[in-house]
Amino acid sequence: MSGLFLFDSIRSRFRRRSLEKKLRLASGWPIATGEVNHWAVVDADEDAMSTATPYQIEASFHFLVGGEYFGGYFRSIGLVRREAEAMAKGSPNVNIRYDPANPDSVVVLAEDNADNLPFRLFSYSQNS
């Protein structure tokens, strides 16, 4: 049993390190303003959850670059269900960092969205 725990721990560490590298790289990408299309309350990712906060808000969005539509999704930090359901409303703007060579590759940084969303973000990288 301890072998599985060690393997999961190593895998989690590599995943976190890879995400941190992508987020550092993306901090120099251009910013576009997107609009939230859809909200959902979902089970929290293992990196974002605790026993007290087992849910996250997941939001899909779209944005325009060069007259073309692109999209993606982002997630909140871990929350309790009633809190997540109360905040997952409306269609606020979200600031997105996109790779200018491939706008399908997007990152939503928590620090870029501290004032425009009713919840804190779990910084997230998405490559399509």
Contact 124, 74 (CB under 8 A): yes
For the chain, the average pLDDT equals 85
pTM passes above 0.85: no
Q: What is the pLDDT of residue 4?
A: 60
Tens digits of residue pLDDT in 49-71: 678 889 999 999 999 999 999 99
**Structure-block tokens of residue 123:** 């910084």
Question: What is the tally of structural domains in the chain?
Answer: 1
Residue 33 contacts by C-beta under 8 Å, 6 or more apart in sequence? Answer: 63, 93, 94, 95, 96
Mean pLDDT is lowest, of 13-22, 33-42, 71-80, 110-119, for 13-22
Name the strands in the sheet holding 68-76, side by side, starting at the edge strand that comes first in the sequence. 121-122, 68-76, 55-65, 31-43, 93-99, 102-108, 124-126
**Structure-block tokens of residue 120:** 């804190």
User: 38 vs 8, which has greater pLDDT?
Assistant: 38
Which structural domain range is residue 75 located in? 2-126
Q: What is the pLDDT of residue 128?
A: 46
